[in-house]
């Protein structure tokens, strides 16, 4: 809240002071920011830099960094462009070609994005796998192969837990250790840790030096960007390159993080880069967001192998402005990306889904009780995780030592993770392998597998419980460090462990009930075959915890369904997700991404919530009525006189060029209402600071008769200029004649609705046709936070 | 267009004269309308009926029949209710209980809806199957069994084309005919026709007598209702009962129609009926639409066995106001309905999906060319179908004989359908069985099956082509007759036939190429196994034609995917759907439902299109500027004086009760802007005709000092009443102080956007704080139609 309270602005300034955010990203990473402009949140007039450039470049850089776009204006611009092309259409053949190109541009663009996203994901998957396997050893014959392919190519019989001959473990490179000896174990451990620390250090260095925006999951920022926020360089090529490389490195380091969130960020980078090939999208921030929405869908599609889930994720979680045309295009993009990924075939199988399960899931109705319990557990665990992670992130921000030494932090976390994880069979392998194991059923050769050996039940309980605790604690500290790191896989891992634990327990209970004489009739199912499959519980648990952490609903269920390719499985997932969401929302309304958005103070207007406030527009607008001494209702008009002085307005005609210039100097508002006169305050239109500045600047330069005494006319009634006197300045063309207005008695819910649905930057508050004040997006956000906190 | 042009209204009257619609439904079915009020579209003051009722009932019947709801107002009402409950929450335990009930009401309601929809669908499926099989014969032992179950229960071996002993064909009941004889054939034919005509006549009689709204698909009307239109009785219990019975009858008659569209209508009826159990939804039209959206999803879910597709259908096609909370609830509702249907198990298998395919779909990249061709064909066929069907519907409307004899029409269509369909093996069986056959692969016993016998290729081509032509022509005449009839299954059938034709052709081409020496290397696939599976082509064709007819996109692909349960199949479907949509939109932008909406003149504001108009608000508002003689731009103010006289406004104070009453008498506008004075026209608020009338009526009745000379005050500055004189009338509390306004220069795209996204009924047009005119939803619709037609 304190972040938003600078200067009692009345204007359309809705950039937010990202002091805290920049403190994490810019201030502690000052060594160089290849992709982002140096943004000083405390300089009042950041627009000055834009004033000096001439028209063509300003067309591109229409919005400043950390500004919010004006959807209505951008869409209007696009419609204008569209009309122009339509007129040209008659010119054969060039106009027709251009019109055709224009119509197909969106599809071609998302096609490219899909192809690039699929290829990128494939390369990252292959790279991360190989580098991750290098922790334990190397392929003797062909060093470029990962463990699985190495063993395949060597035509060795390949066992699940043991390795083939071709895969040389590091200790063996040094000495001919006995693989059961302590020395072997120690050397292996040291190599394991050393590789992990090396990888993560490299990752954090890359990020620090080349692209500070490449760290983290990126989803909170993507949400803000899609809602109309501008963060320069966040989706740039450097971010893309460094995040790709960093993601491979950080995945290889064995940290408790996932590739899936960053994959969405990478796909959006690709979307942003390709959109510049198509001016229709590249030069229009609102239209660009259509491509970005599709890109986000493609990101989820390649991350999980779930095209439909991707579209729903983009719709439910990420996107803000989502016309149905975009949905269809997003689906196309997600599907192309999925096909390409399948073509690249990173997992060596023909499956694109991350955790493919090819057995039938059967369950009985009584099992819905443990599924619901798993949901409750997932909701609680998720909320606990969010709480702890946010507390730690706040501490990191405010702590000088921690905040300024991201490299040491990463190294320490990696050291702890690697050295501890090594001693548990479940945490030692990659999270994806562990999840796959937990999802699997118990059939075939179960003798080797601790998961299915009912004689070693206590060992299993111990190991799983330990793994869960470890994952939970280490992920709290990991999510937020300065390497590319996602949260999906760690959440799924936690959920899969808890689910498997629950599954084993339920299966034990069922078994003992079934063993009781006389009770066996209740069960027509065969344990492990028709009912109580611990693998199913693992999946349900995964959905529950993921739901608790992210608060996704439909898209989560669809993703889980596509992930495993089994329709039978929808009902248990749905039950768990519902309970998880209910209990989670009961504890705290915010998911992890919303919590991080709030932590960073991004101007994100959530499109989901319902806000039953009993406030009207006049109580929120600036200048505020509340600041005045309380007045009798009947004296509102006299009170209004006083207030009026606070609202900086421009009169339609009568103000001189000098007046305007001093107004610009004295205030830092980004826009001014234009009224007929100071007395009546009847609204004519709205003009932005930038437009006035540019107009005055140009006029001063090019028209010699325009002097300080020239009168500026926003109306059409411009008198003829007196020869020799000061020439009048016509400014009607920079006047926005269609500003959005509401009356002072409009309920805030309606105002918020207008902001959300129409994508406004500001709205003018009127009463009886007179301008009273202005409400900006920033005011809305501050109001909502105040309301929520009280 | 002419339908919308009555009286140059300025008001918020946005009911549309459904003259044409009522002509079809009411006028020709005057014998009795159990579920719908008698609506006379030509009576100007239909609100008068509402004025006499006192307050409590008007709370229910807040909107008149064929009126549009005001979303903002309804949602505000709900927020108020919510706040009251929140206040009560402290009262333990009653308040807490009430609060909990309120929070859970939505979920409980959709749970009920899901259960009821699933059960209804199951009963209808079973009933329709049984009645449909009665066309050919009866189960000798157990008459209540359909053919398949009859044969199962008799433990006979059951062949695909031949029947079991237990199933007694009608001719055998009469005589011991030889089943190959002509007499047998003739008797069978006569029974077939007779049963069909009897069923359809019963259906149309039921509809005509009990519930005229039960006819047709219902989806166009559902779309309008979800967009905020009120059609009394359209979702009532009578409509539900008659449509259920009629659907069984019309399905049994063998007409070329489907059960799927009506299933959506039935589910919405269920939603509407259950919503009255929960006043939160039943008494608030806007909130009720949340339940209806979920119901629509459940309808598709049970119709196709596709819960995710149902949600997407509701999102993409049906719904208008779709907050994300609704999406999650819709998913729940759709899933519950699906589970219940599975429990009822109408198809005797464990599959809920309509056309389950349990073989793997393999395809090669080169096959995307024929898939794209199928898409093109589907788009063209669909557009042709829409064109022809709309032309025929228009003809039916305007033709006296046809319009007033729906029963004869149905009988004739049934006669033609049944007598012709009997001679083709594909059209003789039910459309669902045919589609299932066409989707199937060629394996196993192919000797009997004409579909897979390559020796009888010409017969097959002939039969399929004939079936396609027959289906196409007869469906044009069938869709729109006065029985419950959907369009999905006929479209899928047409598509499946064309797809199968294409598949056979491609397979022949591939075979001949493969036979050519030297070319066999190109094909690594085995015909009918890995590539060129005619069943896959049938599915792709089905998607293409369905896409061409309905113009659905994402939801169609997902429905087709869930229908067949095969993910491999998404890419071909997607390609076909895309091409179908492109070519279809190229021919005509409207899908069949939009075309029927336009035909019936429903006030549906499409939420999908983009409208690049170059018009501003002042050109659309009423009173219209265009009616004035063209004036110089500089003289707008004097022009404005003239215009002002046309806009009926109420002044804040100064008008007497008599003035108001005569204003009400002289105009039939549904609302009036309240201004400070006629001179300044500065806007204060908005007041509806209904509210003024009620207020005046009550005042006259209860307050003796309120006389014709009493001054009405909409402001707070009410002078003390002079003893003995006329008492002032305080009307501020009926004044809406937050009317939506736009300036006269606002582009129409923005205005349309506001109407769509905020669910407005009217918007006031202002310039410099003065009211110029008003734009209603009706004006918007008329404007859009004019723009589109020019």
Total number of residues shown for chain A: 790
Region B533-557: mean pLDDT is 90
CB contact under 8 A, B323 and A608: yes
CB contact under 8 A, A749 and B82: no
**Strand, helix or coil for residue A762:** strand
Dist CA B674 CA B681 (whole Å): 9
On chain A, the residues whose CB falls within 8 A of the CB of B565 are 567
Cα separation values, B777 from A681, B284, B541, B668, B754, Å: 31, 20, 39, 17, 11
Residue-wise pLDDT tens digits, A250-282: 988 888 998 888 999 999 999 999 999 998 898
* Model confidence at B26: pLDDT above 50: no
Dist CA A218 CA A593 (whole Å): 9
Q: Which of B570, B683, B768 sits opposite A676 (nearest CB)?
A: B768
What would the two tokens of residue B460 be? 């097959």
pLDDT given for residue B370 in this prediction: 92
Long-range Cβ pairs for the range B654-659 (8 Å, 24+): B654/B711, B655/B711, B655/B712, B656/B708, B656/B709, B656/B710, B656/B711, B656/B712, B657/B696, B657/B699, B657/B700, B657/B706, B657/B707, B657/B708, B657/B709, B657/B710, B657/B711, B657/B712, B657/B729, B658/B708, B658/B709, B659/B712
Higher model confidence: residue B164 or residue A38? Answer: B164
On chain B, the residues whose CB falls within 8 A of the CB of A328 are 553-554, 581
| Run of H or E residues at A443 | none
Give which of A442, A417, A446 is closest to A430, Cα–Cα: A417
Would you put residue B218 in left (φ > 0), alpha (ψ -120 to 50) or beta? left
**Interface residue of A71, A308, A572, A573 to substitute, partner B, most B CBs within 10 Å:** A308
CB contact under 8 A, B747 and A608: no
Give the distance between the most distant pair of CA atoms in chain B. Answer: 114
| Run of H or E residues at A634 | none
**Strand, helix or coil for residue A517:** coil
Chain A residue with minimum CA distance to B683: A768
Using alpha carbons only, give the angle B601, B605, B610 rounded to the nearest 5 degrees: 125
Q: Are B684 and B676 in contact (CB under 8 A)?
A: yes
Region B387-396: mean pLDDT is 93
Region B565-592: mean pLDDT is 84
Distance from CA of B562 to the nearest CA of A (A): 9
Residue-wise pLDDT tens digits, B285-299: 888 999 999 999 999
pLDDT given for residue B511 in this prediction: 79
Strands B762-767 and B770-776: antiparallel
- Percentage, residues of chain A above pLDDT 90: 22
Q: Are A334 and A114 in contact (CB under 8 A)?
A: yes
- pLDDT grade for B640, boundaries at 50, 70 and 90: very low
Q: B565: which DSSP letter?
A: T
pLDDT given for residue A163 in this prediction: 59
Q: Which of A75, A570, A612 sits opposite B335 (nearest CB)?
A: A570
- pLDDT grade for B163, boundaries at 50, 70 and 90: low
CB contact under 8 A, A324 and B316: yes
Higher model confidence: residue A54 or residue B142? Answer: B142
On chain A, the residues whose CB falls within 8 A of the CB of B311 are 554
Chain A residue with minimum CA distance to B80: A612
* Model confidence at B586: pLDDT above 80: yes
pLDDT given for residue B544 in this prediction: 95
| Run of H or E residues at B616 | none
* Model confidence at A47: pLDDT above 60: no
What would the two tokens of residue A578 be? 């519902």
CB contact under 8 A, A311 and B610: no
What would the two tokens of residue A267 be? 């796909």
CB contact under 8 A, B743 and A739: yes
Chain B residue with minimum CA distance to A337: B571
Would you put residue A480 in left (φ > 0), alpha (ψ -120 to 50) or beta? left
Q: How many CB atoms lie within 10 A of CB B69?
A: 22
On chain A, the residues whose CB falls within 8 A of the CB of B582 are none
Per-range mean pLDDT, top range of A9-13, A86-90, B61-65 = A86-90
On chain A, the residues whose CB falls within 8 A of the CB of B324 are 316, 553, 607-608
Sign of CA dihedral B435, B439, B444, B449: positive
Lowest mean pLDDT: which of A337-341, A642-646, B315-319?
Answer: A642-646
Distance from CA of B637 to the nearest CA of A (A): 12
Lowest mean pLDDT: which of A562-566, B96-100, B559-563?
Answer: A562-566
Chain A residue with minimum CA distance to B552: A328
On chain A, the residues whose CB falls within 8 A of the CB of B583 are none
Q: Are A767 and A743 in contact (CB under 8 A)?
A: yes
CB contact under 8 A, B327 and A316: yes
Per-range mean pLDDT, top range of A264-273, B1-10, B182-191 = A264-273
Dist CA B79 CA B717 (whole Å): 30
Distance from CA of A167 to the nearest CA of B (A): 34
Higher model confidence: residue B336 or residue B68? Answer: B336
Chain B residue with minimum CA distance to A78: B612
- pLDDT grade for B535, boundaries at 50, 70 and 90: confident
Distance from CA of A773 to the nearest CA of B (A): 14
- Give me chain A's average pLDDT, please: 78
Chain B residue with minimum CA distance to A577: B328
Q: Which of A633, A676, A747 sits opposite B716 (nearest CB)?
A: A633
Residue-wise pLDDT tens digits, A90-125: 777 777 788 888 888 889 999 999 999 999 999 998
Lowest mean pLDDT: which of A395-409, A539-553, B39-53?
Answer: B39-53
CB contact under 8 A, A750 and B769: no
pLDDT given for residue B632 in this prediction: 44
The size of the A-B interface in CB pairs under 8 A is 168
Q: Are B158 and B308 in contact (CB under 8 A)?
A: no
Return the residue matching tokens 């259920």. B244
pLDDT given for residue B512 in this prediction: 81
Dist CA B626 CA B741 (whole Å): 21
CB contact under 8 A, A79 and B757: no
Q: Which of B634, B716, B753 sits opposite A758 (nearest CB)?
A: B753
Dist CA A765 CA A635 (whole Å): 19
* Model confidence at A169: pLDDT above 90: no
pLDDT given for residue B119 in this prediction: 94
**Interface residue of A311, A554, A736 to substitute, partner B, most B CBs within 10 Å:** A554
* Model confidence at B103: pLDDT above 60: yes
Q: For chain A, which domains are there?
A: 1-98+611-790 (3.10.580.10), 119-135+200-344 (1.10.3080.10), 365-599 (1.10.3080.10)
On chain A, the residues whose CB falls within 8 A of the CB of B768 are 676, 682-684, 769
Dist CA A86 CA A254 (whole Å): 55
Lowest mean pLDDT: which of A302-311, A476-485, B105-114?
Answer: A302-311
Distance from CA of A319 to the nearest CA of B (A): 12
On chain A, the residues whose CB falls within 8 A of the CB of B309 are none
On chain B, the residues whose CB falls within 8 A of the CB of A608 are 323-325
- pLDDT grade for A607, boundaries at 50, 70 and 90: low
* Model confidence at A161: pLDDT above 50: no
Going by C-beta distance under 8 Å and a sequence separation of 6 or more, which residues neighbour residue A623?
A8, A10, A643, A646, A647, A773
Can you tell me the ipTM of this complex?
0.80
What would the two tokens of residue A309 be? 């889930």
On chain A, the residues whose CB falls within 8 A of the CB of B570 are 307, 335
CB contact under 8 A, A683 and B768: yes
On chain A, the residues whose CB falls within 8 A of the CB of B634 are 716-717
pLDDT given for residue A577 in this prediction: 92
Edge-to-edge strand list for the sheet holding A683-688:
A650-651, A671-675, A683-688
CB contact under 8 A, B742 and A738: yes
- Percentage, residues of chain A above pLDDT 70: 79
pLDDT given for residue A490 in this prediction: 93
Q: Which of A83, A617, A770 sits opposite B769 (nearest CB)?
A: A770
pLDDT given for residue B745 in this prediction: 86
Region B495-522: mean pLDDT is 80
On chain A, the residues whose CB falls within 8 A of the CB of B325 are 608, 610
Strands A671-675 and A683-688: antiparallel
**Interface residue of A331, A363, A566, A620 to substitute, partner B, most B CBs within 10 Å:** A331
pLDDT given for residue A23 in this prediction: 30
Return the residue matching tokens 């069960």. A523
On chain B, the residues whose CB falls within 8 A of the CB of A680 are 769
Dist CA B752 CA B506 (whole Å): 48
Higher model confidence: residue A474 or residue B48? Answer: A474
Distance from CA of A609 to the nearest CA of B (A): 9
pLDDT given for residue B360 in this prediction: 65
Q: Look at the pTM and tell me if it is higher than 0.90.
A: no
Chain A residue with minimum CA distance to B684: A768
**Strand, helix or coil for residue B351:** coil
pLDDT given for residue A641 in this prediction: 41
On chain A, the residues whose CB falls within 8 A of the CB of B557 are 331
Residue-wise pLDDT tens digits, A275-318: 999 988 988 888 899 999 999 999 999 888 888 889 888 888 77
Dist CA B280 CA B287 (whole Å): 7
**Interface residue of A738, A760, A763 to substitute, partner B, most B CBs within 10 Å:** A738
Is-cis flag, bond preceding A198, omega within 30?
no
Q: Which of B324, B554, B633 sits opposite A331 (nearest CB)?
A: B554
- Give me chain B's average pLDDT, please: 78
């Amino acid at each position: 809240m304190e972040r938003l309270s600078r200067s009692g602005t009345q204007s359309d300034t809705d950039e937010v002071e990202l002091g805290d955010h920049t403190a994490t990203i810019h201030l502690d990473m000052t060594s160089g920011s290849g992709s982002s402009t140096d943004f000083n949140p405390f300089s009042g007039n950041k627009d000055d830099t834009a004033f000096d450039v001439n028209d063509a470049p300003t067309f591109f850089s229409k919005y400043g960094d950390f500004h919010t776009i004006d959807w209505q204006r951008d869409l209007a611009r696009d419609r204008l462009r569209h009309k122009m092309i339509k007129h040209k259409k008659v010119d054969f053949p060039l106009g027709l070609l251009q019109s055709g190109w224009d119509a197909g541009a969106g599809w071609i663009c998302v096609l490219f994005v899909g192809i690039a996203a699929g290829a990128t994901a494939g390369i990252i998957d292959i790279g991360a796998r190989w580098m991750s396997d290098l922790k334990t050893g190397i392929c003797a014959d062909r060093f470029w192969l990962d463990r699985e392919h190495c063993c395949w190519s060597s035509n060795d019989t390949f066992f699940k837990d043991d390795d083939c001959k071709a895969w040389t473990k590091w200790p063996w490179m040094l000495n001919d250790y006995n693989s059961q000896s302590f020395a072997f174990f120690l050397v292996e451990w040291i190599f394991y840790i050393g590789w992990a620390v090396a990888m993560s250090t490299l990752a954090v260095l890359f990020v620090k030096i080349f692209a500070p925006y490449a760290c983290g999951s990126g989803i909170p920022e993507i949400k803000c960007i899609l809602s109309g926020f501008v963060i320069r360089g966040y989706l740039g090529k450097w971010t893309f390159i460094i995040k790709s490389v960093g993601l491979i490195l950080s995945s290889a380091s064995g940290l408790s993080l996932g590739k899936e969130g960053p994959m969405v960020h990478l796909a959006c980078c690709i979307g942003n880069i390709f959109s510049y090939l198509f001016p229709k999208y590249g030069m229009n921030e609102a239209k660009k967001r259509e491509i970005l929405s599709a890109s986000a869908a493609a990101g989820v599609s390649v991350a999980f192998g779930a095209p439909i889930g991707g579209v729903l994720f983009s719709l439910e979680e990420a996107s803000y402005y989502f016309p149905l045309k975009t949905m269809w295009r997003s689906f196309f993009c997600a599907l192309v990306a999925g096909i390409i990924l399948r073509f690249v075939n990173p997992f060596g199988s023909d499956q694109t889904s991350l955790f493919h399960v090819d057995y039938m899931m059967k369950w009985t109705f009584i099992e819905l009780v443990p599924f619901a319990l798993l949901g409750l557990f997932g909701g609680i665990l998720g909320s606990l995780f969010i709480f702890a992670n946010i507390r730690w992130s706040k501490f990191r921000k405010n702590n000088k030592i921690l905040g300024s030494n991201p490299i040491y932090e990463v190294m320490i976390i990696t050291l702890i993770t690697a050295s501890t994880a090594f001693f548990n069979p479940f945490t030692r392998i990659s999270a994806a392998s562990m999840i796959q194991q937990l999802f699997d059923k118990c059939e075939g050769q179960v003798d080797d597998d601790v998961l299915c050996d009912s004689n070693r039940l206590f060992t299993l309980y111990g190991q799983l419980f330990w793994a869960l605790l470890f994952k939970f604690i280490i992920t709290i500290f990991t999510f937020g460090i300065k390497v590319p790191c996602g949260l999906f896989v760690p959440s799924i891992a936690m959920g899969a462990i808890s689910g498997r634990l629950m599954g084993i327990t339920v299966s034990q209970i069922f078994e003992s009930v079934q063993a009781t004489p006389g009770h066996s009739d209740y069960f027509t199912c065969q344990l492990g075959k028709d009912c109580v499959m611990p693998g199913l519980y693992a999946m349900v648990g995964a959905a529950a915890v993921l739901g608790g952490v992210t608060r996704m609903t439909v898209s989560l269920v669809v993703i889980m369904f596509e992930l495993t390719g089994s329709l039978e499985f929808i009902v248990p997932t749905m039950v768990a997700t519902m309970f998880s969401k209910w209990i989670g929302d009961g504890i705290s309304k915010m998911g992890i991404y919303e919590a991080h958005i709030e932590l960073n103070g991004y101007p994100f207007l959530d499109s989901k919530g319902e806000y039953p406030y009993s406030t009207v527009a006049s109580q929120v607008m600036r200048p505020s009525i509340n600041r005045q001494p309380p007045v009798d209702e009947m004296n509102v008009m006299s009170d209004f006189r006083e207030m009026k002085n606070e609202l900086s307005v421009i009169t339609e005609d009568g103000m001189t060029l000098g007046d305007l210039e001093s107004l610009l100097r004295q205030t830092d508002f980004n826009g001014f209402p234009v009224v007929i006169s100071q007395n009546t305050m009847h609204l004519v239109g709205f003009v932005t600071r930038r437009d006035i500045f540019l107009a005055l600047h140009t006029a001063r330069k090019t028209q010699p008769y325009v002097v300080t005494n020239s009168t500026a006319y926003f109306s059409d009634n411009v008198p003829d200029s007196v020869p020799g006197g000061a020439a009048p300045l016509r400014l009607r063309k920079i006047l926005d004649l269609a500003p959005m207005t509401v009356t002072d008695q409009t309920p805030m819910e309606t105002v918020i609705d207008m902001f959300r649905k129409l994508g406004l930057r500001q709205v003018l508050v009127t009463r009886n046709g007179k301008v009273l004040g202005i409400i900006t997006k920033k005011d809305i956000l501050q109001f909502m936070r105040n309301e929520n906190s009280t």
